[in-house]
Amino acid sequence: MTVVVALLGLILLVVVHELGHMLVAKAMGVHVPEFGIGFGPAIFKKKFGKTVYSFRIILLGGFAKMEGMEGMASVEEETGERGPNAYPSKPAWRRAAIIFAGPFANLLAAVVIFFGVYMAGAPTGITTTVEEVVPDSLAAELQLRPGDRIVSAYGEPVGEWSEFQEIMAGRRIGDPVDLVVERGGRDLELSGELGADPTNPERAIVGIQPAATTAAGPIEAFVEAVGRTIQVIGLFGWFVGQLVTGGIDFFDSVSSPIGVVSVSSTVASQGLLSFANLLAFISLNLAVFNLLPILPLDGGHLFFIAAEKVIGRPVRPETIGKVAAFGLALILMLFVFATYADVSKIVEGQPFIPEQPERRP
């Protein structure tokens, strides 16, 4: 059942992308003969206004077919039609707006999803306040209690949980620990020796589970959603940079639809908020990936629209066709490689999601 939910979630994100293209195309005066969900033979068609809405037998993705464009939205080619409602007849800025609308729709979808997640009570941050004490740990030995707040460690002030983690990083079992903890308005000086993690005897921990903060209302939830969106986009840029420079392993870092569905299914089984977070992350990845300047991606179309403005005339269709063929071959190679990597992980029993340690030092 979770696999079905994961597939529907991914289909929804692609539909949102194509819906962005269609809505802006109509707003810019371009006729959209058909908006379809899926590919292959149609199993349902219904015309509303001037557009036919269809469901196809293979419910993977979708398309917004525009007058003057041939094929699905992902492999558009100009047909040469120059009617007043045709895409090619529109000014460059209108065509650019239509193309950019797809990735922008995914970006907006991510913000809306993150907003809903934060409004539902998802953590917006981690504090230095103790929420839970691990039994038989140093924290238990020092009699720390839920509600205590760590003020300093080894004489260094601690304002955020990440600062406490940095201070404790690299400490070993048996190392001395000096803490100042606020309790009931009073500062308590505590000291002891680091103990072992009950679940990992080789790992040293203090034994504290920190408390999380949540959004106080819609405004804070919206600010957090926008901030999270910007953060994820930055992480994607860092990821691409690391791939190019060899900072991370390409084989372990790319994933095909097999891996995405598998991960989505696993996360869906963990609860609605976790699955929504993942969908927002995937939506942003779709947005940024589609903006790469490679045909037939949206970024490739935007690149040639910009080139048209620079040279003062449209780029020759033959040139666009050759670049598009190269780009399509490149994307297909990436798809095949990612599929091979995912199948290899399945055969070797490797997880798609590496195990992450709990957030307690």
CA distance 195 to 202: 10
Amino acid type, 346: I
Q: Do 193 and 205 form a contact (C-beta atoms < 8 A)?
A: no
CB 115 within 8 A of CB 221: yes
Helices (H) and strands (E) in the chain — how many of each? 10, 12
Instruction: Name the E strands within 66-185.
Output: 69-70, 77-78, 123-133, 149-153, 156-157, 176-183
Cβ proximity of 142 and 190 under 8 Å: yes
- Give pairs for 76-85: CB < 8 Å, separation 24+: 76/296, 76/301, 77/321, 77/324, 78/317, 83/31, 84/29, 85/29, 85/30, 85/31
Give the Cα separation of 130 and 207 in Å (integer). 10
Q: What tokens appear for 62 in the block?
A: 């979708």
Estimate to the nearest angstrom the gap between the alpha carbon of 105 and the chain centroid: 14
In the annotation, is 18 catalytic?
A: yes
Cβ 85 vs Cβ 67: under 8 Å: yes
- Rounded Cα distance between 108 and 114, Å, is 10
Which is it for the CA torsion 346, 348, 349, 354, positive or negative?
Answer: negative
User: Which of 18, 67, 76, 224 is an active site residue?
Assistant: 18
Q: How far apart are CA 118 and CA 215, in angstroms?
A: 6
Active site amino acids: 18
